[in-house]
């Protein structure tokens, strides 16, 4: 059997897509199984407590709170497996995934209200990339005074732009090296998969990262 | 207008037997005189609907197409897409652990003429019943995280302008905009959902809408 020499970029794309689909299946499995069982238990408990609140052998409020906590733990696990909206909308997926940094990084977002279809492996990679970036920024000193994430699409041309502003003259070469080390594998992979331009920029009071790419149907072959 | 609860007809679609049982039990407590039918697949839901349109349909998204098949979100989404097309007057509550997938149907939901609310399955019983009540009243409710910022359409802004700057009532607004009064009421529910203004005991929803519209800069 002759084995063709693979197109390495296509192989890499397949692998990332396969991983994204696998995690989607696992997430659905948990949502359709464990979460449904918790919901059913909770409804039965709610009805029983509502109907005969005094005759229950347990404290209804405590039991319902425990059930709620269990549900939230499992749901949080689902979100770790697959970010909300990952299958459907990059702007909404970003809006949801970046909530933990809104306060700590003084993060503001300007997100497109509509978005053309994005390959699932690219959406996942962009989410991982931005989460890693914000994790890194929030773990380092100094902290930005403001952070802005902009996502725009114009005639199939897409751009994700992150700007973190700092007090004047605070950023050092070490800072730039740390950011570059954290982001480089993601940027290289995204550059390959999306044929994207990735432009990080460091000044003494500003870090900026601009990613530009085209919709798949419009990207040069 | 809400149908009197003694003649309500409800259809609940869920493939998980225990969840379906819990939902029906909850609805029976809240609407003791209602007729509640159930379905567990896309096919059985369609069959039930062929017998007559209920006052409200409450459905899960992850359901199988036919008995014995695997539950899939796509099946629920496609059923809902066809219901939104075929039954513009049907009040719908989506109760699911997959509510975010509804973003795929956002344009169809935006143009639906009847009540449409979304209830995460994790909602406490009372909140779930509130979503049922709102849908029966023809209101729209979609979770905030399904929107990237406030989305408003020009016709909704025109309703706000005519009501709060010109002081017109719905009938006069309808004449001014050359649409049916019912359409104006539909615009109100849409703009109220966009502004996240929902019925609250003791509060006038139109005044709440005006306050919120001014805060968001939709009217001066």
pLDDT in tens, A167-190: 887 778 888 899 999 999 999 999
Residues 6+ apart with CB under 8 A from B188: B159, B170, B206, B209
- pLDDT reported for residue A5: 63
The DSSP code sequence of chain A is: ---PPP-HHHHHHHHHHHHHHHHHHHHHHHHHTHHHHHHHHHHHHHHHHHH-GGG-SS-HHHHHHHHHHHHHHHHHHHHHHS-TTTTT-HHHHHHHHTGGGTTTTTEEEEE-S------HHHHHHHHHHHHHHHHHHHHSSSPPSEEEEEEEEETTEEEEEEEEE-STT---HHHHHHHHHHHHHHHHHHHHHHT-EEEEEE-SSEEEEEEEEE-GGGS--
d(CA A126, CA B46): 40
pLDDT in tens, A52-105: 766 666 788 888 899 999 999 999 999 999 999 998 899 999 999 999 999 999
* pLDDT tens, per residue, chain B with 220 residues: 444 555 899 999 999 988 899 899 899 989 999 999 999 999 999 999 999 999 999 999 999 999 999 898 899 999 999 999 999 999 999 999 888 889 889 889 988 989 999 999 888 889 999 999 999 999 999 888 887 777 778 888 999 999 998 999 999 999 999 999 989 998 999 899 888 899 888 899 999 999 999 988 888 8
- Nearest by CB: A46 against B98, B125, B148: B125
Residues of B in contact with A92 (CB under 8 A): 100, 103, 145-146, 148
ipTM: 0.74
Which chain A residue shows the shortest CA-CA distance from B19? Answer: A40
Q: Do A28 and B73 touch (CB under 8 A)?
A: yes
pLDDT in tens, A114-154: 888 899 999 999 999 999 999 999 998 889 999 999 999 99
Q: Do B146 and A92 touch (CB under 8 A)?
A: yes
- pLDDT reported for residue A214: 92
Q: Do B26 and A46 touch (CB under 8 A)?
A: yes
Q: How confident is the model at residue A2 (pLDDT cuts 50, 70, 90)?
A: low
The arrangement of strands across the sheet holding A107-111 comes to A107-111, A146-154, A157-165, A206-214, A197-202
| CA distance to partner chain B, nearest, from residue A192 (Å) | 28
Scan for tokens 């009040």, then name that residue.
B91
Residues of B in contact with A91 (CB under 8 A): 148
């Amino acid at each position: 059997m002759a084995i063709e020499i693979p197109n390495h970029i296509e192989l890499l794309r397949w692998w990332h897509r396969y991983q994204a689909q696998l995690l989607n299946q696992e997430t659905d499995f948990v949502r359709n199984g464990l979460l449904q069982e918790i919901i059913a238990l909770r409804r039965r408990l709610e009805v029983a407590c509502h109907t005969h609140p005094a005759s229950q052998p347990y404290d209804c409020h405590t039991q319902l709170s425990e059930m709620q906590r269990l549900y939230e733990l499992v749901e949080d696990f689902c979100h770790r497996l697959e970010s909300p909206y990952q299958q459907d909308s990059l702007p909404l997926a970003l809006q949801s995934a970046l909530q933990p940094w809104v306060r700590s990084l003084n993060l503001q977002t300007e997100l497109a209200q509509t978005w053309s279809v994005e390959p699932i492996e690219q959406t996942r990679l962009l989410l991982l990339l931005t989460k890693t970036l914000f994790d890194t920024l929030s773990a380092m000193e100094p902290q930005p005074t403001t952070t802005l994430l902009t996502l725009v699409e114009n005639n199939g041309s897409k751009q994700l732009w992150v700007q973190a502003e700092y007090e004047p003259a605070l950023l050092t070469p070490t800072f730039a090296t740390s950011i570059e080390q954290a982001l480089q594998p993601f940027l290289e992979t995204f550059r390959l998969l999306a044929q994207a331009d990735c432009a990080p920029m460091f000044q003494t009071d500003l870090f900026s990262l601009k990613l530009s790419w085209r919709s798949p149907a419009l990207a040069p072959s | 207008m809400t149908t009197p609860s003694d003649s309500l007809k409800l259809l609940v679609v869920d493939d998980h037997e225990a969840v379906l049982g819990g939902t029906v039990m909850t609805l029976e407590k809240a609407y003791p005189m209602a007729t509640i039918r159930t379905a567990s697949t896309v096919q059985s839901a369609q069959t039930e609907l062929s017998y007559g349109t209920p006052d409200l349909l409450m459905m899960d998204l992850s359901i199988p197409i036919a008995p014995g098949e695997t539950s899939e979100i796509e099946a629920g989404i496609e059923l809902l897409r066809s219901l939104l097309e075929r039954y513009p007057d049907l009040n719908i509550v989506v109760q699911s652990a997959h509510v975010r997938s509804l973003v795929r149907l956002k344009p169809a939901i935006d143009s639906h003429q009847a009540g449409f609310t979304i209830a995460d399955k994790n909602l406490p019983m009372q909140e779930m019943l509130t979503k049922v009540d709102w849908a029966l009243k023809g209101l729209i409710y979609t979770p905030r995280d399904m929107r990237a910022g406030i989305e408003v359409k020009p016709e909704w802004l025109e309703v706000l302008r005519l009501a709060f700057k010109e002081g017109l009532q719905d009938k006069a607004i309808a004449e001014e905009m050359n649409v049916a009064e019912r359409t104006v009421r539909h615009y109100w529910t849409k703009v109220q959902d966009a502004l996240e203004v929902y019925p609250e005991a003791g509060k006038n929803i139109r005044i709440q809408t005006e306050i919120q519209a001014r805060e968001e800069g939709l009217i001066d």
